[in-house]
């Protein structure tokens, strides 16, 4: 509750002049305070007012605060040209409140409320600060894909409440359901949010049209809301998932493979990174659907790793966009000649994206491969393809944008500023350093 009030009482700062960086500093302070609080790894701790925190919530709340802080750092351009920067900050803090409450609610109805509520500030970000006129269509896609499946989820929650007389998430381990309609109505909302292949069309559109902050929050946190919801409701549907999980695993793995191939066809940097998110989330869905210890653990670690890595890659594409005015790979060529230091960060984030060792993506993927191969050895083929092509399209994006002859039309040009290097460092450092403390996330289940 104290952190909720912390964010709430930061709101009046917008009425003062030049408070853009002050808000960011306050968020860094809040991040440190949240990190230092005592955590019980096995059960919910810090309980009170329908709120609580276990290790899954803890990691995702930390990620939310971190990404929101970095969003402000990445959006300096808005502050420089004074493009409604105060309203922008207000919007980010509203979004952070929604995300914080979503992840810390133990009451599943309140979780649903904030799960859907986080859509509104995201939509305002895309519509208010997006670049092309197509952002309206992208916003509608995002809105209607999510709303279409959220009503069945609400009805499912009421049905479960009718059966169990409780809305507390951790009481659901005493209840098991065998209803197919209830199963589909409860998990479809989360699968669309992830997004699973077939219901993923809103994601590339929203990413391409969103401003840098919108892309960061979409890749960093919004996709993780679906995984978090699935991890929570799988308690109720264990017997159903034993029978039907096969369908979702097959769709996710085949979809991940097809999307990986699709990445090679992309000519826009942002759309390539957005499609790679769908491929990674396919593995996360598969891991959760196996219902085993390794799968749950791997999906949780990959979600956090992907949140940091994908967000950093969007920052890189935005740094190029601010200089060249285009995200096309035909124009963003030979950047190593012009921004040699930035090339190092491209390399570091690309190898994290292809799940090279020392990154959390590597740890998550190893655990997911373990869980899926133990579930069925036939998944080996698809996993092999997804991992191979993941390295392929990361290398394709890196080599295409960094090597080769640069565009001779570029006249005024400057290399990265210290703010941008710090921004990329703050994505990469936790992504690779949390690898050293993964004993914490190995014992939560």
356-373 tens-digit pLDDT: 988 999 999 999 999 999
On whether the CB atoms of residues 129 and 214 are closer than 8 A, the answer is: yes
Q: What is the pLDDT of residue 444?
A: 55
User: Would you list the domain boundaries of the chain?
Assistant: 52-442
pLDDT at residue 445 tops 60 = no
On whether the CB atoms of residues 327 and 317 are closer than 8 A, the answer is: yes
pLDDT at residue 385 tops 80 = yes
pLDDT at residue 8 tops 90 = no
Dist CA 203 CA 248 (whole Å): 19
DSSP states of 191-209 as a string? Answer: HHHTTPTTS-THHHHHHHH
Residues 108-153 have pLDDT tens digits of 999 999 999 999 999 999 999 998 888 999 999 999 999 999 999 9
Q: Report the residue count for the chain.
A: 445
pLDDT cut 70: percent of the chain above it: 98
Cβ neighbour number for residue 168 with a 10 Å cutoff: 13
Q: Which of the four pLDDT bands, split at 50, 70 and 90, describes residue 422? A: very high
Mean pLDDT across the chain: 91
Cβ neighbour number for residue 164 with a 10 Å cutoff: 15
Q: What is the pLDDT of residue 174?
A: 87
Please tell me which residue, 119 or 41, carries the higher pLDDT value.
119
Structure tokens belonging to residue 235 = 């308690």
pLDDT at residue 15 tops 90 = no
Q: Which of the four pLDDT bands, split at 50, 70 and 90, describes residue 6? A: confident
Residues 313-331 have pLDDT tens digits of 999 999 999 888 888 998 8
Structure tokens belonging to residue 84 = 């409604």
Ranking 72-76, 81-85, 187-191, 361-365 by mean pLDDT, the lowest is 81-85
Burial 66-96 (b: 16+ CB within 10 A, else e): bbbbbbbbbbbebbeeeeebbebbbbbbbbb
Task: Kindly state the average pLDDT of the residues 374-381.
Answer: 94
Q: Please report how many Cα atoms fall inside a 13 Å half-sphere around the Cα of residue 21, on the Cβ side.
A: 5
pLDDT at residue 427 tops 80 = yes
**Can you state the percent helix, strand and coil of the chain, rounding each to 5?**
75, 5, 20
C-alpha 76, offset from chain centre? 22
Q: What is the pLDDT of residue 324?
A: 85
Q: What is the pLDDT of residue 181?
A: 94
Residue 268 β-bridge partners: 328
Confidence (pTM): 0.94
Q: What is the pLDDT of residue 442?
A: 67
Q: What is the pLDDT of residue 4?
A: 86
Dist CA 124 CA 267 (whole Å): 27
Task: Kindly state the average pLDDT of the residues 55-70.
Answer: 93
Task: Kindly state the average pLDDT of the residues 23-30.
Answer: 91
Task: Kindly state the average pLDDT of the residues 402-415.
Answer: 77
Structure tokens belonging to residue 217 = 């929050």
pLDDT at residue 443 tops 70 = no
pLDDT at residue 292 tops 70 = yes
Q: Which of 87, 88, 120, 86 is nearest to 102 (CA)?
A: 120
Q: What is the pLDDT of residue 411?
A: 64
Task: Kindly state the average pLDDT of the residues 255-264.
Answer: 96
Q: What is the pLDDT of residue 132?
A: 84
Residues 42-58 have pLDDT tens digits of 777 878 888 888 888 98
DSSP 220: I
Q: What is the pLDDT of residue 343?
A: 94
Q: What is the pLDDT of residue 412?
A: 61
Coil, strand, or helix at residue 107?
strand
Q: What is the pLDDT of residue 230?
A: 95
Task: Kindly state the average pLDDT of the residues 287-309.
Answer: 94
DSSP 359: S
Ranking 283-292, 294-303, 378-387, 413-422 by mean pLDDT, the lowest is 413-422
C-alpha 212, offset from chain centre? 14
Coil, strand, or helix at residue 51?
strand
Phi–psi pair at 415, nearest 5 degrees: -80, -175
Please tell me which residue, 435 or 342, carries the higher pLDDT value.
342
- Beta strand pairing status for 51-53 and 45-48? antiparallel
């Amino acid at each position: 509750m104290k952190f909720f009030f912390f964010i709430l009482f930061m709101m009046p700062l917008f009425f003062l002049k030049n408070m853009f960086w002050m808000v960011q500093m306050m968020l860094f302070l809040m991040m440190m305070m949240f990190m230092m609080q005592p955590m019980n790894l096995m059960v919910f701790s810090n309980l009170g007012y329908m709120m609580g925190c276990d290790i899954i919530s803890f990691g995702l709340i930390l990620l939310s605060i971190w990404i929101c802080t970095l969003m402000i750092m990445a959006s300096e351009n808005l502050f420089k040209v004074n493009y409604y920067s105060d309203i922008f900050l207000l919007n980010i803090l509203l979004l952070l409140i929604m995300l914080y409450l979503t992840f810390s609610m133990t009451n599943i109805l309140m979780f649903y409320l904030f799960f859907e509520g986080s859509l509104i500030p995201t939509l305002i970000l895309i519509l208010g600060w997006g670049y092309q006129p197509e952002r309206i269509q992208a916003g509608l896609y995002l809105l209607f894909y999510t709303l279409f499946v959220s009503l069945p989820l609400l009805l499912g929650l009421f049905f479960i409440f009718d059966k169990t007389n409780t809305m507390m998430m951790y009481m659901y381990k005493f209840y098991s359901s065998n209803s197919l309609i209830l199963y589909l109505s409860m998990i479809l909302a989360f699968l669309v949010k992830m997004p699973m292949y077939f219901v993923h069309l809103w994601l590339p559109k929203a990413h391409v049209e969103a401003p840098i902050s919108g892309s960061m929050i979409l890749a960093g946190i919004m996709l993780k809301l679906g995984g978090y919801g699935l991890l929570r409701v799988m308690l109720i549907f264990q017997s159903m998932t034993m029978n039907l999980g096969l369908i979702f695993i097959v769709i996710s793995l085949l979809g991940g493979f097809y999307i990986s191939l699709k990445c090679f066809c992309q000519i826009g940097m942002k759309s390539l990174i957005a499609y790679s998110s769908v491929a990674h989330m396919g593995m996360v869905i598969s891991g959760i659907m196996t219902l085993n210890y390794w799968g749950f653990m791997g999906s949780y670690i990959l979600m956090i790793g992907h949140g940091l890595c994908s967000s950093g890659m969007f920052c890189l594409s935005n740094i190029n966009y601010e200089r060249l005015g285009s995200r096309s790979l035909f124009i963003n060529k030979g950047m190593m000649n012009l921004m040699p230091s930035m090339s190092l960060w491209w390399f570091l984030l690309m190898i994290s994206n292809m799940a090279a060792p020392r990154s959390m993506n590597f740890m998550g993927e190893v655990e997911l491969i373990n869980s899926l191969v133990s579930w069925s050895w036939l998944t080996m083929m698809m996993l092999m393809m997804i991992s191979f092509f993941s390295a392929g399209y990361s290398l394709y994006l890196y080599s295409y944008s960094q090597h080769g002859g640069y565009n001779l039309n570029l006249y005024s040009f400057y290399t990265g500023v210290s703010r941008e290097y710090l921004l990329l460092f703050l994505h990469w450092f936790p992504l690779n350093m949390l690898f050293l403390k993964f004993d914490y996330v190995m014992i939560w289940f």
